[in-house]
Amino acid sequence: MASEATPRINAHYLEQFSNQTVRIVGKVLALHGETATLDASGSITIHLNRESHLTVNNAAEIIGKVQPDLSVKVLQATDFGSSMDYAAADAVVDATHRYKEIFYEGGPEI
């Protein structure tokens, strides 16, 4: 059974991945009931699920589906705590898009 590729993106790539499942690392800026605001080189609205347990000012990894309005519906959320190197996370996003063939099967499609 093949697993679905979840490309790593930040706010700059949202439009390119509309209707696709992605992986985003960023800082939780605010929680508003069933939504959160995540800073991943730009602000992203995240639609949380019942299993999402995030903390404001902590880093989080979101696996979710990009919606037509460029918000992201959470499939899985992981709190990474308060010490995160966001520049390193952005460098990983950059590398995965520059060298698709290394990170994803059929790289050019992603």
Neighbours of 43 (CB within 10 A): 12
pLDDT at 3: 58
pLDDT of residue 105 exceeding 90: no
- pLDDT above 70 (res 108): no
How far apart CA 107 and CA 86 sit, in angstroms, is 25
Task: Kindly report the pTM of this predicted structure.
Answer: 0.87
Instruction: Please tell me the predicted confidence (pLDDT) of residue 106.
Output: 57
Q: Residue 107: is its pLDDT beyond 70?
A: no
Q: Which two tokens stand for residue 60?
A: 């989080």
Q: Measured between alpha carbons, how far is 74 from 62 in angstroms, rounded to an integer?
A: 6
Gap between the Cα atoms of 98 and 45, Å rounded:
26
pLDDT tens, residue by residue, 17-71: 999 999 999 999 999 999 999 999 999 999 999 999 999 999 999 999 999 999 9
